[in-house]
Chain A
């Protein structure tokens, strides 16, 4: 034990004098800080956009007041007025922007058929999206392994190449103790970096230090151990530093880049999505076809779903909003199965990618971190489903005015339903991801021990 402490102390002294190691640490910290800043800023931009909606909403209500000073037909309001479904990010989203930057943070909703309002896009710069977010999760998933590789690829080879290994082993010291000391020292260094960056991120972004913080640290530390284990396994081969560097970078490239890229290609090829395009086009035919169908037929079908309004009176003759909204509603209902199929296809794609990603700890970690932050596609689909339900609430609010011929008073806007969504963390997915990382750790530790046992005999 005392020996270990001495070794750790010397590792520390050695570290302090090694300029390149200090530089790596600084680079890692700098990237981490920039990641925190950049993720926080991206979130701030999203919040600004959401905050601006209130003014647009109020301006629209003022305009309605000018257009219909006394009272209005709710049909006109439904047509000319719009409300917003808002997807507020949790502070945690700044740490892992995930898919939040590609999906809109709000949807503009009118009383008309909802299905072609759910998939509208926000203004986005595609080059920025394609290059990806530089958030803390990127630093952890991509740069942390490179940092670990950089400080441990020459774990033993450096001592060997400098000729100090023989000197050390001439002392009453086991190679395994030396090896262990080096590993422990590096782990402490890495853990310190991870914890420092994570705490900074929590303080900077105001993310709540709840159960999520525990999941976050657990996942990242397991991931760090995985890479440390991989470095040890390669180092135990007792080859040159150059060999170690190339092999480790190769492993990194395989796991962090090529595997996810192939998984994505496999998902796209085996489960292509056409349902979205189909859904919109079919829905348009159904809605606009409403104009050309006999009015009585449309109303009869509508009353099947809303028997309470069946005594609303005739819609024949001049244009009546009652009839208009009836065929809008029927248009939505006609694509309900397509909507479900579209949603299901996206969920299938997600689960396929998630299953395949067990071969890639980096992809798994990204999934876990996005799950903790609530920024995966899953959460956006939840928001879409929530928005659809919100549209139902709007219908429940406006239909009595429409179908019971009640005038809509300007003051009634105050009673209009509102919708704000904030994604909850996906603990189940994160937990199962953490288990996968744990399994990867066990595998790589066994491998490292095996490599060490078989390759260090001649040195002993």
Chain B
């Protein structure tokens, strides 16, 4: 009997022309999304790779220069596209792609996609994640909204119950049936996605890539399950198909269109971030005058010079075995970078405060949970972006200090014009960036995964409880 119900749901879904049409539209959109995602990935990845290699080439082929000239000439960090970004663009279009790395100052990441687009980009982006987060739930709602109400309206539920089948058993059978129907659409799609993942990585099996893809797919399966079970539940709780449908659509609109925007705007209203200009001014102020006006830089420099003279037992700076200019520069860089890093960490903490509301709300709204996990696995969330910015700053600092060190050891005191042979610069390794490891990305979204698991248990539990309570009829 149970098997019959499951089979009936499966067969009637595929007999329903409207479902077939909607399902096909979604499959076509999935393919379109995959295609645009892959084109987008290839174009942007190639563009940034080329830009990074041009930057490296320019750096390695520069003329003979004074080390401090090179420090100002600087370098670039281009954010490489993560391989899985084609699944979910996440925040990629909203984050800068290029950081200019130079001595004495930390520049913003510039040339984000959104800054070069009109308002159209704000409607969303065609990605596999978009289809799976927005459209498949709608397909599920459409498929399941009248599963109980129709039986009720047509009187078939009574007949079923009179056969001695419990309401709980019917619900379970229906659940299984719809899972099968949705699987028939989703699993082939996942198979193609998997092939795309392999092909985009030139068929090299990479454990982190596979793990990310696996978590990506598994959590989406939970997300779909939540919608299937939730729709069945709402259908069981309503007398009429009309009200069940309107309720479900209302929930969809509220959780996918309305709530994410409201929460993220609220978070940003509650926690105000400083402007870049104000932040830079504070860094400048604090490195010049010391934090809270204690220990100003001039005084520290005097002490530093005095210390050197004493250490090497000489009378004047020009007698030192090293060039004090480079050392002073290094001292300044060390202090200002440290202060910058503190301010940057504070800024990131403010952003985390702004975003916290949306992350915890995963327990109220499974869409927010899956959105977070999906971006993270694709390597396109805020955490991955900040990791890149930190890596770029780390490289900038190391490069600058390396050049300061060259000045200290290879150029004479007060000499601002001699040039070092270019190959001494070319030997410095170029900027190379690899995103955070899978485990770190996973740990960062653990709360969202718990939220999704919580929802899975909740909807299943509610079905069981409701059905036990309602033993006979609504």
A interface, CB within 8 angstroms of B: 20, 31, 34, 38, 41-42, 45, 48-49, 52-53, 56, 59-60, 84, 98-99, 102-104, 106, 108, 116, 119-134, 138, 142-143, 146, 150, 154, 161, 240-242, 245-246, 249, 253, 256-258, 260-265, 267-269, 272-274, 276-277, 280-281, 284-285, 288, 291-292, 319, 346, 349-350, 353-354, 357, 362-363, 366-367, 370, 376-378, 380
Contacts and interface: CB of A to CB of B under 8 A. Distances in A.
22 contacts: A49-B275, A49-B277, A99-B118, A126-B382, A127-B91, A128-B268, A131-B265, A133-B261, A154-B242, A242-B145, A249-B138, A260-B124, A261-B126, A264-B123, A264-B124, A265-B125, A272-B44, A276-B111, A284-B73, A288-B72, A353-B118, A354-B118
Nearest to A272: B43
A126 B79 CA distance: 15
Contacts of B273: 123, 125
Nearest to A279: B111
Contacts of B126: 261-262, 264-265
Contacts of A268: 36, 40, 113, 117
A102 B112 contact: yes
Given A130-B91, A134-B265, A277-B111, 19 more contacts: A38-B269, A56-B281, A120-B276, A121-B110, A121-B112, A126-B91, A127-B355, A128-B264, A128-B267, A253-B135, A258-B29, A260-B123, A260-B124, A264-B126, A265-B36, A269-B36, A292-B65, A376-B118, A377-B116
Q: B-side binding surface: helix, strand, loop or mixed?
A: helix
B379 interface: no
Interface string B277-306: 111110001000000000000000000000
A153 B234 CA distance: 20
B119 interface: yes
B117 A125 contact: no
Contact of A281 (B58, B112, B138, B279): B58
B358 interface: yes
A143 B257 CA distance: 9
Nearest to A106: B277
A178 B54 CA distance: 71
Contacts of A125: 268, 273, 351, 354-355, 382
B116 A346 contact: yes
Nearest to A129: B94
A423 to B, nearest CB: 14
A48 B36 contact: no
B274 interface: yes
A99 B119 contact: yes
Interface residues of B, number: 93
Contacts of A146: 253, 257
Interface in B212-261: 241-242, 245-246, 249, 253, 257-258, 260-261
Interface string B373-415: 0000000011001000000000000000000000000000000
B85 interface: no
A116 B100 contact: yes
Interface in B409-454: 416
B86 interface: no
- The 3 A-B pairs at the shortest CB distance, nearest first, are namely A260-B123, A49-B275, A131-B264
B258 A31 contact: yes
B408 to A, nearest CB: 21
Contacts of A276: 110-111, 116
Contact of A127 (B63, B108, B264): B264
Contact of B90 (A130, A133, A277, A362): A130
Contacts of B358: 127, 131
B207 to A, nearest CB: 28
B278 A130 contact: no
Contacts of A116: 100
Given A52-B277, A125-B354, A291 B120 contact: no
